[in-house]
């Protein structure tokens, strides 16, 4: 059974769709997806989600094996490959739905450049405010601690975290909301982490990391005009709530 690419899959889908006198829009309506998604499949620029393979095969009146092979299979051959090739085909489908290693490396490079620029801007902020007589290093510990946390979170989210969950076969506990991988383990109480919402949650967390890194020096400088507030515990509690609230709320909403 030969390896196929997205292009061959797309050609096969387009061929079977036309045989059944379906337009891209009509096929999309049957699968509850957009016609743009179908167009991307047929052009070979993307693959359908694994959950769509069976309904797509049924709509096109082919088997899932034929769909993943990108060709019609004779009955005798189908019987021979039905059992021993099924897992391989599923793994192949998972590979198609993920980015290639080259694409992931390119994204990592872009993420590293963007995060590096944001860190440089944050450092320039601190140096500029110091030169203006507002030494950030003398700020209350809560500001310094959160700057460090934002920097560490940014490194983790922008440089080490993938845009997609890494493995279809990884253990996933729907009840606890935990996605289990060798390292790390992601957990958000009350929120199921799935392949569908993962990328949105990661994007929200990344925005928070750079946003908080850049905003904390500005917040401290803005409060230096009210020195009597800086040493009050109430203000520090408010900063803590604001800091974590701007992380948890957007990420939870993105997970919806």
DSSP 8-class letter at 134: -
What confidence score (pLDDT) does residue 114 get?
A: 96
Is residue 131 situated within a structural domain? yes
Contact between 24 and 39 under an 8 Å Cβ cutoff? The reply is yes
pLDDT at 172 exceeding the cut of 80: no
pLDDT tier, 177 (very low <50, low <70, confident <90, very high otherwise):
very low
CA dist., res. 96 & res. 44, Å (int)? 10
Contact between 202 and 165 under an 8 Å Cβ cutoff? The reply is no
pLDDT at 254 exceeding the cut of 70: yes
Q: Which of 97, 132, 159 lies at the terminal end of a domain, its last residue?
A: 97
Higher pLDDT, 123 or 90: 123
pLDDT at 171 exceeding the cut of 70: no
pLDDT at 149 exceeding the cut of 70: yes
Is residue 139 situated within a structural domain? yes
pLDDT tier, 176 (very low <50, low <70, confident <90, very high otherwise):
very low
CA dihedral (52, 36, 44, 107) positive or negative = negative
What confidence score (pLDDT) does residue 168 get?
A: 40
Contact between 37 and 77 under an 8 Å Cβ cutoff? The reply is no
Rounded mean pLDDT of 160-173? Answer: 57
Is residue 1 situated within a structural domain? no
Per-residue pLDDT of 41-100, as tens digits, reads 898 888 887 778 888 988 998 888 788 778 887 665 555 555 455 545 555 555 555 555
Domain of 154, in residue numbers = 101-255
Looking at the structure, tell me whether residues 136 and 66 fall in a common domain. Answer: no
For residue 20, the domain's CATH number is: 1.10.260.40
121 C-beta neighbours (distance < 10 Å), count:
13
What confidence score (pLDDT) does residue 76 get?
A: 52
pLDDT tier, 162 (very low <50, low <70, confident <90, very high otherwise):
confident
Number of domains within the chain = 2
What residue spans of 70-100 are helical by DSSP H?
75-81, 86-97
């Amino acid at each position: 059974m030969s390896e196929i690419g997205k292009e061959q899959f797309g050609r096969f889908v387009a061929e079977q769709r036309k045989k059944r006198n379906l337009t891209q829009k009509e096929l999309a309506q049957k699968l509850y997806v957009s016609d743009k998604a179908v167009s991307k499949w047929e052009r070979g620029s993307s693959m359908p989600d694994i959950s769509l393979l069976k309904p797509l095969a049924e709509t096109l009146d082919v088997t899932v094996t034929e769909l993943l092979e990108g060709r019609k299979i004779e009955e005798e051959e189908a019987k021979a490959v039905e059992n021993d090739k099924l897992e391989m085909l599923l793994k192949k489908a998972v590979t198609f739905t993920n980015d290639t290693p080259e694409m992931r490396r390119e994204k990592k490079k872009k993420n590293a450049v963007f995060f590096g620029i944001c860190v440089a801007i944050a450092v320039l902020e601190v140096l500029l405010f110091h030169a203006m007589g507002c030494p950030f290093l003398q700020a209350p510990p809560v500001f310094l601690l959160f700057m460090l946390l934002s920097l560490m979170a940014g490194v983790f989210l922008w440089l080490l975290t993938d845009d997609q969950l890494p493995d279809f076969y990884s253990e996933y506990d729907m009840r606890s909301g935990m996605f289990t991988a060798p390292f790390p383990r992601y957990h958000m109480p009350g929120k199921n982490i799935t392949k569908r919402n993962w990328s949105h949650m990661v994007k929200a967390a990344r925005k928070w990391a750079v946003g908080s890194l850049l905003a904390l020096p500005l917040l401290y400088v803005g409060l230096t005009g009210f020195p009597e507030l800086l040493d009050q515990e109430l203000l520090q509690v408010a900063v803590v709530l604001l800091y974590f609230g701007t992380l948890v709320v957007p990420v939870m909403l993105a997970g919806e």
